[in-house]
Amino acid sequence: MTAAESSSPDRLAELSAQDLRARLSEALDLYVTAMRYPKGTAEQRAPMWLAHMMRTGWRCIGAFDPNGNLAGIAYGYRGSPGQWWHEQVRRGLIERSGPAAADQWTLDYFELTELHVRPDRQGRGTGENLLRALLAGATEGRVLLSTPEGPSRAWRLYRRVGFVDVLRDYQFSGDPRLFGVLGATLPLA
């Protein structure tokens, strides 16, 4: 890759479920690399990503480097009762803040499920561009996401575009890590 290619902006494109299925291996490799997960994680996540594509309001945006390779990906869908993440977050909100807070955040929201940028493409605005493009098409009143606790580029991005704390230091079932659940009113400022 030349210096010009490495500094060129990434091109964004909306991906259909068929488009993402065709690039699923590439997308999951990007996910594993960006999150620094063990390689076997991709095989475990593939069925989940395929199931997510069937959810109401699912949308996906890809970022492509000048060579046409996937440089970033963002997807999400309308959150609703019965979905694992929805039930986990709602339970946590009820326990910590009460039913009114749970209703405020979980009755009409877009779940930002995945947002990842290849490490060699980070720090160029690709993550924010993906986030804004994905959420520009959302019809819900709010957006929610979860991200591991601790300082990161992701936290700086979410704060910069107006996300606030919804639930902090939360432990999802089956994961020993602590997460922050963040939310924002749509459209983003």
What residues are labeled active site?
158
- Relative to beta strand 59-64, strand 109-117 is unpaired
Amino acid at 63: A
Reported in sequence order, the residue ranges of the chain that DSSP labels E, i.e. its strands, are 11-14, 59-64, 70-78, 109-117, 142-148, 164-170, 179-185
Residue 189, classified by CB atoms within 10 Å of its CB into exposed (0-12), middle (13-18) or buried (19+), is exposed
